[in-house]
Structure 1
Amino acid sequence: MRFNDNWRTILLAGLLILAGWQNGMAQRRVNTQFLPYSEVGFGLGSSTYYGELAGYRKPIKSTFTLPRWNVGLMYTRHFTPRLAARASFTYARITGDDYKYNAGDPLKAPAQFVRNLHFRNDLKEFALVGIYQFVEDGRNSLKRAQLTPYIFGGLALLAHSPEARNPLDSSNRQWVKLQPLGTEGQGQPSYAKPYSLVTLAIPLGLGVRYKLNENFNLAIEGGLRYTFTDYLDDIGGPYPAADLLTGQSAIFGNRSNELTAARKGGDRQVGLQQISNELGSPEQFMRAGTGGFNDSYVFTSIQIHYIIPGKIKCPPIK
């Protein structure tokens, strides 16, 4: 009988240990299960354009010659310790100027100096991107990583409208929208139709996120947007036939004869004379290159993120 009692005691103890282990594992699963959370953010930064007026072959010069600004709002949802999705709206300005880019040495890029085109473009971008964090978050927003680098990629919808300034000797120095003018003959018989002012872009980039406290993050990021258009700058092809354009279309389509740079002023006569002496008539140069790349732009930004409070699920007390 004592032998059976001992076995009963051992069996009961084993069952209690097993039950306790199972209960502990269940609580551990509850404690380690990731709780999705959301954040909203605001960012400020710079914007840089790349295209016919700021070439890909000289990325450093193109980046720092004429940077402009951007401001953005964003909403991010964290689904797993590493993966998140973000919706954002960014308002930004980009600009380019043949004279500014090449005034230092016209002979290095004579075609651009002679062309003498410029533009500005206010961009409205709505983007959806996926985010991958290299450092895992904890089980909830309070346990998120203190510091994590991340990468992102997705798709953006972009609205834009390039503008240029009237010549310096004009009585009206306002900026003029270029797409309606058809500066390359768009809309004319045997020419392309006017380009769209709405296009798509592919955002790709990286950043670093830092946890300031339980409620706020600080992030720094930069990303390239490669667009589906070659007309952020209103330049994508050659000059149209000389007698095709009239009025403002002719003025803004070919500015190579202007002796003063229109955007900010600047005497072009010395540079044009250098090119003429060394290379011959400036009229030989084309309006646009034939590189085959669409226009793109880069956003860099410093962002502040607010963690939206959520319910923290506690394990049941038994």
Structure 2
Amino acid sequence: MRSVLKIVLLFLVVSFSFAQSHAQSPYRFEAGINIGTLLYQGDLIESPFGSFKGARPMVNVWLAKPFTPYFSWRGNLTIGSMSADEARFQNPSWKQYRRFAFSTPATEITGMVVFNPYGDNGKSSDRTLTPYVMIGAGATFLNIRRDWSSLDSNAALKSSLQSGYTKDSAHALPRVLPVVPVGAGVKWMVTPNIAVNAEATLRFVFTDYLDGFSYTANPGRKDSYYGISVGVSFLFGGTGVKCPVVPRE
């Protein structure tokens, strides 16, 4: 985990240094708000893409500043939650006996570098649809509540989980996790100053306790989560939205 964080932080530092010598940009700031959901991926869900069962709303507010036609900085505040309940799944059938569940609110703060391959930072007189990719680092704040109270009373099942249950019970659940977000999206300029977007961002958290379970489930598989959302943004300064000028008397 440390090596990955070092690489990401190095990339951010290099980008910042590059920004100091390439300050030209088509507008000064872009502010946006996105609405979507966070989807957990881990031991309690078999699908590699997570599950919408129990999905809850998420809001992401962000501020971006371009520093070249290709790159921009973006700060994000994301507020949402995650949960999973094995009792909701009929397959595989053993989930109806284990019935593990968890839930947690999630407040995430990240800084990211956004790359626009067209070199116009999404603002062009002859192009309205622009893809982008992004990577960054940050932290997510959690309050994990795990629930194994619905475990089937079958003695053999309980016996097979006892060793893992003991280890997981002794493990303190994380309250703050470093996170490496990697995402992609597409932006559509509705007007010269207003854009709508759709994006998906995977978060690597480098732990198997995002859901509160590890040894009683699959300790060899790390947990993660991702968000999907749609939103609207506004361009300010430069050739973007100009602040109103109050006339002098």
Q: 1:41, 1:196 → 2: CA distance?
A: 30
State the TM-score, normalized to the length of structure 2. 0.72
1:154 aligns to what? 136
Paired residues, number: 203
Q: 2:32, 2:126 → 1: CA distance?
A: 16
Say whether residues 1:307 and 2:240 are aligned partners.
no
Kept after mapping to 2: 8 A contact 1:227/1:296 = yes
Kept after mapping to 1: 8 A contact 2:198/2:231 = yes
Q: 1:158, 1:165 → 2: CA distance?
A: 21
Q: 2:77, 2:227 → 1: CA distance?
A: 12
Q: 2:126, 2:137 → 1: CA distance?
A: 27
Q: 2:239, 2:127 → 1: CA distance?
A: 19
1:133 aligns to what? 116
2:67 aligns to what? 79
2:36 aligns to what? 45
Kept after mapping to 2: 8 A contact 1:221/1:301 = yes
Q: Which has the higher strand share?
A: 2
Q: Percent identity?
A: 24
2:193 to 215, 218, 227: 215
User: What's the CA shift string for 1:187-228, capped at 9, x where partnerless?
Assistant: 8xxx55x23310111111110001111221111001111112
State the TM-score, normalized to the length of structure 1. 0.57
Q: Is the partner of 2:222 in helix, strand or coil?
A: coil
Q: CA RMSD in A?
A: 2.7
Kept after mapping to 1: 8 A contact 2:27/2:237 = no
Task: Find the structure with the greater CA-based Rg.
Answer: 1
User: What's the CA shift string for 1:239-280, capped at 9, x where partnerless?
Assistant: xxxxxxxxxxxxxxxxxxxxxxxxxxxxxxxxxxxxxxxxxx
Q: 1:214, 1:305 → 2: CA distance?
A: 11
2:53 to 65, 70, 73: 65
> Which one-letter code corresponds to 1:81 in the other structure?
P
Kept after mapping to 2: 8 A contact 1:45/1:299 = yes
2:85 to 89, 97, 107: 97
Describe the shift of the 1:36–1:80 C-alpha distance in structure 2 as closer, same or farther (beyond 3 A): farther
Kept after mapping to 2: 8 A contact 1:161/1:232 = no
> Which one-letter code corresponds to 2:82 in the other structure?
I
User: What's the CA shift string for 1:120-151, capped at 9, x where partnerless?
Assistant: 1110000111111122218x967595211011
In structure 1, the gaps of 5 or more residues are 1-32, 169-182, 238-286, 313-318
